[in-house]
Structure 1
Amino acid sequence: MPRFETAQVVEPHAETSADHVAVLPLGEAMVLVVADGAGNSRRGVDAAAGVVRAVRAATVDRSDLLRPEAWSNLLEQCDHLLASTGHGGETTAVAACVTEGRIIGASVGDSELWLIHGDSHTVVTQHQRRKPLLGSGEALPVYFDVPWNGGTLLAGTDGLFKYADAPRIRAVASGPDLAASARELAALPRLVSGGLQDDVGLTLCRPRH
C-alpha cells in the first residue's frame, strides 16, 4: 500500500483551464505538481501542460530527484525549453517531492505549497520568485528542503489562495476525507452566483495511517 494518501482537483472558471496538476510516483516517494498558465491564454495553457509533461518524464528517467537542487535545475530546463519554442507561453510551477521525512522541490511564480498542522501552516514556497515565469527564458526557480513529520501538504494555484481565507483553507484541508477536502477547497472561492474568478488547481497529500 502507498505510504501517502493524495487527492487532486482542477476547477476551470471558463471552458478551458490554465491550471494543470499531477500526482506522480517516484519510487517510495510522491511528486506533486501544480502549474498555472499566465493570462489564462491558450499559450499559457500549453506552457503549464508542458511543465507537467516535463516533470512526469523526469520521474521516469532521472535518478537524482532526491536532491533539492535537481528540482530547481529541472524547472530551469523547463524555462529554457518553453522559451525556445517561441510561442510566448509562460507559467508558474510548484514541483514537490514528498518522502517519509522530507519535502524537497522548487517553485516559480505565485502558486504555493503549504504544510498545514491544524490551525497553523507554513508556506514552504515562501522564498520563491514570483517573476519572471517559466517560459520567459529568465526564470529563477528557488528550491526548498524542509522536514516533514506529519500534517497535510497543499499545493495550489492563486485561484485558491487569492480568493479564500487561510483559516478556512486550513480547516477544510485537515478534514478526514482527503478527496472530499480537495473538492471542498476548490469550491471555497466560488461566488454567490456559483462562478469562479479564476481557475482553481490543487493537490493534497498526507501520510497514510
Structure 2
Amino acid sequence: MKRFETAQVVEPQERTSADHVATLSWGEATVLVVADGAGNSRRGTEAAAAVVQAVRAAVNERSDLGRPEVWSDILTRCDQMLVSSGQGGESTAVVACITGERVLGASVGDSELWLIQGDSHRVLTEHQRRKPLLGSGEAVPVFFDTQWSGGTLLGASDGLFKYVDARRIRAVASDPDLSAAARALAALPRLASGELPDDVGLVLCRPV
C-alpha cells in the first residue's frame, strides 16, 4: 500500500533547465532529490543530471540508506565523481529519505528542504553549506535527521525560494491537490512579463 503522495515539476527559465528532480522508492520509503546546476550552464546542467543519476543508483544498490550520515557520504562521492569526470560542472543537491516516522538526508548548496505544517515551516537544510558545490572537489555535505508525523515536505531550488516569500509558499504548498500545488508553486516566481527569473525545480511529498 502506498504510504506517500508525491508531485514534481521543473519549469525552465529558457528552453532547457539546469534543475533536475526525482522521486524514488526505497522499500516502503520515498526518496526525494533536487539538483540545480551552477550558472544554468551546459556543464552545470550535466552535473545536476549526474547527481540525480548517482542518487538513483544508490537507491537501487544500497541497503543502508536509513542512516543520515550515509547520505552525506553519497553526496561526497558525487562530488568526487564530478571532479574525476573532468566535465567541470558543479551543482547543488538536496536528498531526503522519508519514512513513516523520520525525514533524513543531506544537502549542499542553496537548494532547500522545508517541512510545512499549517502556517509554519521548518527549514530542514538550515545548517547546509552553500559553497563549495558538488563538483568543486571541496564540497562538505551536511546531513539532517528529524521526526515527523505529518505535514508537507517541499524540496526546491533557489529559483523558488529566492523569489517568493515564505507565506505564499506555505499557502500554496498546503493545497489538498498536491499536483496542483506543485504547478502553482512553480508559477509563483513568474514576472509580469510571464518570464521566470531562474529555473524552478521542486518536489512535494505528504502522507497518504
Match of 2:151 in 1: 151
* Partner in structure 2 of residue 200 of structure 1: 200
SS at match of 1:182: helix
Q: Residue 161 of structure 2 corresponds to which residue in structure 1?
A: 161
Partners of 1:173 and 1:9 in 2: CA distance: 13
State the partner residue of 1:131: 131
**Take 1:176 and 1:150, find their aligned partners in 2: how far apart are those partners?**
13
User: Unpaired segments of 5 or more residues in structure 1?
Assistant: none
Most deviating of 103-112 and 82-91: 82-91
Listed as ranges, the matches of 1:52-63 within 5 Å are 52-63=52-63
Structure 1's consecutive aligned runs of 4 or more residues displaced over 6 angstroms after TM superposition are: none
1: CA distance between counterparts of 2:85 and 2:6? 33
Matching of residue 172 in structure 1 with residue 149 in structure 2: no
Give, in angstroms, the shift of residue 88 of structure 1.
Answer: 1.1
TM-superposed deviation, 1:95: 0.3
TM superposition shift of 1:89: 0.1
How far apart, CA to CA, are the structure 1 residues paired with 2:176 and 2:63? 34
What is the SS of the residue equivalent to 1:31? Answer: strand
Q: CA deviation at 1:192?
A: 0.7
TM-score (norm 1): 0.99
Partner deviation per Cα, 1:145-166 (whole Å, 9 max, x = no partner): 0001100000000000001110
Partner residue of 2:7? 7
Other structure's SS at 1:81 match: helix
* Aligned counterpart, 1:78: 78
Deviations 1:13-48 (A, max 9, x none): 011100000000000000000000000000000000
Matched AA of 2:30: M
1:42 aligns to what? 42
Secondary structure of 2:115's match?
A: strand
Q: Residue 3 of structure 1: CA displacement?
A: 0.1
Q: Structure 2 CA distance, aligned partners of 1:118 and 1:10?
A: 25
Question: By how many angstroms is 1:59 displaced?
Answer: 0.5
Aligned amino acid, residue 63 of structure 1: S
Q: Name the structure 2 match of 1:121.
A: 121
After superposition, the CA RMSD in angstroms is 0.4
Alignment partner of 1:20: what SS?
strand
What are the Cα deviations for residues 99-149 of structure 1, in whole angstroms up to 9, with x where unaligned? 000000000000000000011000000000000000001000000000011
Residue type of the partner of 2:96?
Answer: A
Q: Deviations over 1:55-84 (max 9, x none)?
A: 001101000100000000000000000011
Cα distance in 1 between the residues matched to 2:83 and 2:173: 35
Q: What one-letter code is carried by the residue in structure 2 that aligns with 1:29?
A: A
Structure 2: state its 5+ residue gaps.
none
Q: State the number of aligned residues.
A: 208
How far the C-alpha of 1:86 sits from its partner, in A, is 1.5
Taking every aligned residue pair, what percent have the same amino acid on both sides? Answer: 73
Query: Residue type of the partner of 1:195?
Result: E
